[in-house]
Chains A and B, each alone.
Chain A
Amino acid sequence: MSDNIIQVENLVKKFGELVAVDHVSFNVVQGEIFGFLGPNGAGKTTTINILCTLARPTAGRATLNGFDVVRQQNQVRQSIGLVFQDPSLDDHLTGLHNLRFHAMVYNVPVSVREQRIKHLLEMVELWDKRNKFVNTYSGGMKRRLELARGLLHYPKVLFLDEPTLGLDPQTRNHIWEYVLELRKREGTTVFMTTHYMDEAEKADRIAIVDYGKLVAMDTPGELKHSIGKDIISLKTEDDEKAAEEITRRYQTEVRNDKDHLTFSIANGEEFLPVFIKEFGIKILSISLRRPTLEDVFLKLTGREIREEGEAGDTIKAHIREHSRHMRR
């Protein structure tokens, strides 16, 4: 099984009574982009922390690049690059010095060091700012610098923990360009967690986790296909009555989200004209779409991924950023 760069077997992590990771097993193939999808507290970050030796598993086993994450920590650490959710840069150093420090502790040969740093800083468009202190960087610049840093020692696996959380769309696109280019050129394996569905679509395979358990794992296409039906959303004059009627007539479950109804149905394109013609209650608006990963997530976990994610996280990140400034 030499092309499995990450192998995880029955991984368990408990914090006291709380089971954060509950008998999780999966493999990641060399060179693939592997996405970890799940709400906050599902055990995504804990799993990443175990894989990058920041946390010890309670039970089970994990190897990365052939090295055991408990017994061969230094070899594992040398094999990985990380971009964390929260900045992990030294604010009191310049961008350039942050990279030099990293190159030193990761044994990047001095002969290639400066050239590599220059190349990476140009790639993330920070070469001009290299002599500025990191505490003058914006959030997007910091994340880009971290990405450059994570790639400096040519890791086998790049971990991206919510790599674009709280960044503007332009920076998000940029970061993805770098990552995709890197994979093409170096064959780097990418292991990421994300809340953004369009980002998850970029993964070759996705694992959906909820309450510490792996609930599904497949390609984005297959996962969407597993729903098998199209999604129809509509607004009517009387949503409650309409919901009852749809359930009665078409034997399908209707979700009432206060301002609109959604239900899934096979062959939506043919269904829609018939439905509009024969439905008794006045329809105000209606739309048909193919299932998205969001729908897959909703079906598997009964929750919307964004409900607890994004907004809360962004606020938290802001507060953290703010207190950082206050204290320094």
Chain B
Amino acid sequence: MLSAILFPIMFLFIFGSGLRGSIGMMGGGIDFVQFMYPGIMGMSVLMGSFMSGVSIVWDREFGFLKEVLVAPISRISVALGRTLGAATVATIQGIIILVLAPVIGVSISVWTVLALLPLMFLLAASMGSMGILLASRIKSTEAFQAIMQMLMFPMIFLSGVFFPMQDLPTWMSVIVKINPATYGIAAIREVVLGSSADSPFNIILFGHIMTIWDNIAVLAVFGFIMIILAMWSFGRQE
């Protein structure tokens, strides 16, 4: 769990310090570290929420899941409870990254924090449901961790945490736009750095410039599908 905070911070300082000079300003008066900072927040949330599934696989291996599965409570509420619990923890992890704002040189108001809370929670719940969906079908911790890592790192690296959308090769641009995490990261960035129609960090989907609400809508639809699938799959497992 600690790794979900330390790892992103490590990225922030190592990549940030290493690349800040050579990359220079990113446009809109924002340097590389400031650009990366909201992405790192999102990364921390992503990593935290993915781990929700691990706890289920662990409980299965250590037997406790059986006690939960034979209890006279609906599986749907168990799955939902797990998702919301994981999302809460992941959101707190994201919020912890906020402490670094003064060091990075980004000004954060109370309103920013209040806007970030539900947004991070939505991102965490969507990704957490995906973790639970996988966990309900995977029996061993080792397999789960392997699959999670194969899924998690591409999702993080190809989500616009470390680079803006423009001027990407076409194949990469397509993957980034398919990746649901992209829209969560974009929305967090828009809340932290401000949004405008001519911002260089906007996502352009089929010629349409995605507003923050568009991004949130995409994330919400993905999250909704995931949570339905997670509840269904968790309910049916034997």
Residues of chain A at the chain B interface (Cβ within 8 Å): 49, 52-56, 74-75, 77-78, 80, 82, 84, 86-91, 102, 105-107, 149, 324, 327
Can you list 16 A-B pairs, Cβ within 8 angstroms, ordered by A? Answer: A53-B70, A54-B69, A54-B238, A56-B238, A74-B72, A74-B74, A77-B70, A77-B71, A80-B70, A84-B66, A86-B63, A87-B63, A88-B63, A102-B71, A107-B72, A324-B62
Given A55-B238, A56-B238, A77 contacting B64 (CB threshold 8 A): no
Q: Which of A54, A90, A107, A327 contacts B70 (CB 8 A)?
A: A54
With an 8 A cutoff between CB atoms, is B73 at the interface?
Answer: yes
Q: Is the CB of A77 within 8 A of B72?
A: yes
B66–A105 touching, CB < 8 Å: no
Contact A49 B72 (CB under 8 A): no
Complex CA gap A91/B63 in Å reads 10
- Contact residues in A for B69 (Cβ distance below 8 Å): 54
Please report the C-alpha to C-alpha distance between residue A149 and residue B63 in the assembled complex, in whole angstroms: 14
A-B complex: 9 closest residue pairs judged by Cβ atoms:
A88-B63, A77-B72, A78-B72, A105-B71, A88-B66, A88-B67, A55-B238, A74-B72, A90-B64
CB distance from B35 to the nearest CB of A (A): 39
Known pairs A77-B71, A105-B73; A91 contacts B62 (CB<8 A): yes
Given A77-B72, A78-B72, check contact A89 B67 (CB 8 Å).
Answer: yes
Residues of A within 8 A of B74 (CB): 74
Chain B residue nearest to A49 (CB atoms) is: B238
- Greatest chain A CB density within 10 A among B62, B65, B141, B238 is at B62
A52's partner among B68, B70, B73 (CB-CB below 8 A) is B70
A304 to B65, CA, bound (A): 34
Q: Which residue of B lies closest to A75 (CB)?
A: B72
- Inter-chain pairs besides A56-B238, A102-B71, 8 sampled, C-beta below 8 Å: A54-B238, A77-B72, A80-B70, A82-B70, A84-B66, A86-B63, A89-B64, A102-B67
How distant is A193 from chain B, measured CB to nearest CB, in Å?
16
Which one of A53, A88, A89, A90 has the highest number of Cβ atoms from chain B below 10 Å of its Cβ?
Answer: A88
Asked whether A84 lies within 8 Å of B63 as measured between CB atoms, the reply is yes
Q: In the assembly, what is the distance between CA of A80 and CA of B69, in Å?
A: 13
Within the complex, the shortest CB–CB distance from A91 to chain B, in Å, comes to 7
**Min CB–CB distance B89 → chain A (angstroms):** 15
Interface residues of B in 66-87 (CB under 8 A from A): 66-74
Whole-angstrom distance between the Cβ of A165 and the nearest chain B Cβ: 14
A247 to B161, CA, bound (A): 83
Measured CB to CB, the nearest residue on chain B to A90 is: B64
Give the chain A neighbours of B65 by CB distance below 8 A.
Answer: 88
Q: Which residues of A contact B62 (CB under 8 A)?
A: 87, 91, 324
Give the residues from 19 to 72 in chain B that come closer than 8 angstroms, CB to CB, to chain A: 62-72
A139 to B72, CA, bound (A): 27
A90 to B238, CA, bound (A): 20
B17 to chain A, nearest CB (A): 36
In the complex formed, the residue of B with least CB distance to A105 is B71
What residues of chain A lie closer than 8 Å to B66, measured between beta carbons? 54, 82, 84, 88
Candidate in B63, B68, B141, B238 with the most chain A CB atoms within 10 angstroms: B63
Closest chain-B Cβ to A323's Cβ sits at a distance in Å of 9
Q: Which residues of B sit under 8 angstroms from A327, Cβ to Cβ?
A: 141
